[in-house]
Every structure is written in structure tokens, then in C-alpha cells.
Amino acid sequence: MRIGFNYTLGDTAPLVRKLLEAGHIDYVELLIDNFLAVPIDELEAGFAAPVGFHIMFSKFIENDTPALESLARRLRELIERLRPLYVSDHVARFSHDGRQLYHLAEIDYVGDYPQVRERVDWWQQQLGCQLLLENYPSIMDGGHDAPAFHERLYRDTGAGVLFDASNAVCAHLNCGVPLEAWEGVIEHSSHFHTAGYNLSILQPHLILDTHDQVLSEATLGFLQRYRGLFDGPEATLTYERDGRFDEAEIIGDLQRLRGIFPSSPVEPRT
């Protein structure tokens, strides 16, 4: 298992380099939307380590074709040059009836399936590589349909899952989606996410995927329980932190992950 860290903002570059130099992480996941304007040579020289690509705002389910084709051309160029470990995106709704949503909304896994399948197949062809789709931290009962949705989508399109263990825990705590329901997805996945979560401000409280807290015992226990399914020679696990960049907390969490998944040799990207 290779353990990585998400790099979303320029200000965190010194921390990411420090984590690499100390051996706490093996690769860097780029929130690639934020770096589309950066020259490729600079991106190549940014980190002496492998990288993964995480796409946030393609909105490929609802965006117009010319915009997506333009984005795909830039992404294909980056994929060819940087050879990322994986390319991932989000299955979610960014708008409703033409109005931008403040938070991403979960899709209807049954009713939306035909449209999503068509768009995933098309978007994957535009990118020229397998696409991994992150599971949603469900807050409503429709989340029970998510595991079967992802398994079906994999069979129909070849698109895999960037399985977020903490998102699955959020869905379990919010609406009772059994962690066991994800066994088939985990078994066929090689790339994973994990992060801290927190309570919503308003009551009744929901568990939100905030990326600003230490890993919960529930998440660590989930990873330990299914260690045999998560781990593998090509497996990666990205630790996400988007707020409260407490270096001691981050290192502590990375060490706990390393305790579950001992390090293996990683060759630097050349």
C-alpha cells in the first residue's frame, strides 16, 4: 500500500514536500483543477514522487459538451506527460434547475443510472483512460443504493471506484448503509481515500466529510477490519486534509495509517 497526501492549494507545498522527505507519504494527489494553468514542466518538477489526479469541477454529468471537450484536451496532455497513478472524478449534482448548489448533491442512483452511465462512458473516452469515481458521504436513504450502483457501473463501463473509506463511514452513521455492503466495491478497487469528518452546525446533526479533523476510530477500525481487501501491490490510500493543517495531527494520522498498511518500496516518477 502506498500512502499519499492531497495537494489542493499552493500554500501547502512546503508541508507536502516535508512529508515526502520524511517518508510519511509516497505520492501526492493533485486536485488537478487548481493546476490546469500551470505549465506542464513546472508540474513535472513540483514533486519528486508519483502523482494521482483528482478532478473536482468537471461536472461531467451536467456540463455542456464543448466545455468538457476543452477540459479533456488539457487533461489528456497532463495525463500523457505526468502519467498519474489514477484519474478520478465525482458522481454528484452541482446544480438544480439551473441554480448552483452550495454543497454537492447526491444523485438518484436508480433513476439517474441511464444518464450517468452514458455520461461516464463518454467522459472516460474523452480522457482516454479508466476513470475512477468517488463514493458519496450519503445523508439520505438513497445512499443504500450506492454500492450496487458502482458495481453495476463498473460492469457496464469499466469505470472503477476511488473508494473513500471515511465517506462510507459517514453514510453508515447518517443513514445506516452497512459497511459490509461495500465489500464487492473494495475488492475490485485499488485506489482509496480517507479523511476526518465532523458534525454539521445545525440540528439534527449530520456527519459531514469536512477533511479538517483527525481520523475517527470508526474509520481506522474499518480500514483495519478490511485490511486484506484494501491492501495490494498497486493500492494507494490518499489522506485528505483541506483545513486546520495541524502538522502534528497530520503526521500522527499518517503514522496510524502506516501502522495498518506497512510501507513498501516506491520508485520516484522519472
pTM of the model: 0.94
* CATH among 3.90.950.20, 3.40.50.720, 1.50.10.10, 3.20.20.150 for 2-260: 3.20.20.150
Contact 56, 87 (CB under 8 A): no
Helix (H, G, I), strand (E, B) or coil at 87: strand
Choose among 4, 3, 6, 17: nearest CA to 47: 17
SS3 helix, strand, coil % of the chain, rounded to 5? 45, 20, 35
| Grid coordinates given for 234 | 498497486
What single string gives the DSSP state of each residue in 243-264? S---HHHHHHHHHHHHHHS---
The pLDDT of residue 268 is 42
Segment 196-227, tens digit of pLDDT: 999 988 888 899 999 999 999 999 999 999 99
The pLDDT of residue 201 is 85
The pLDDT of residue 100 is 67
Per-residue pLDDT of the chain (270 residues; tens, 9 = 90+): 999 999 998 789 999 999 999 999 999 999 999 999 999 999 999 999 999 999 999 999 999 999 999 999 999 999 999 999 999 999 998 776 677 656 688 999 999 999 999 999 999 999 999 999 999 999 999 999 999 999 999 999 999 999 999 999 999 999 999 999 999 999 999 999 999 999 988 888 899 999 999 999 999 999 999 999 999 989 999 999 998 999 999 999 999 999 999 865 444 434
Name the packing angle between helices 146-157 and 113-127 (round to 10°): 50
The pLDDT of residue 202 is 81
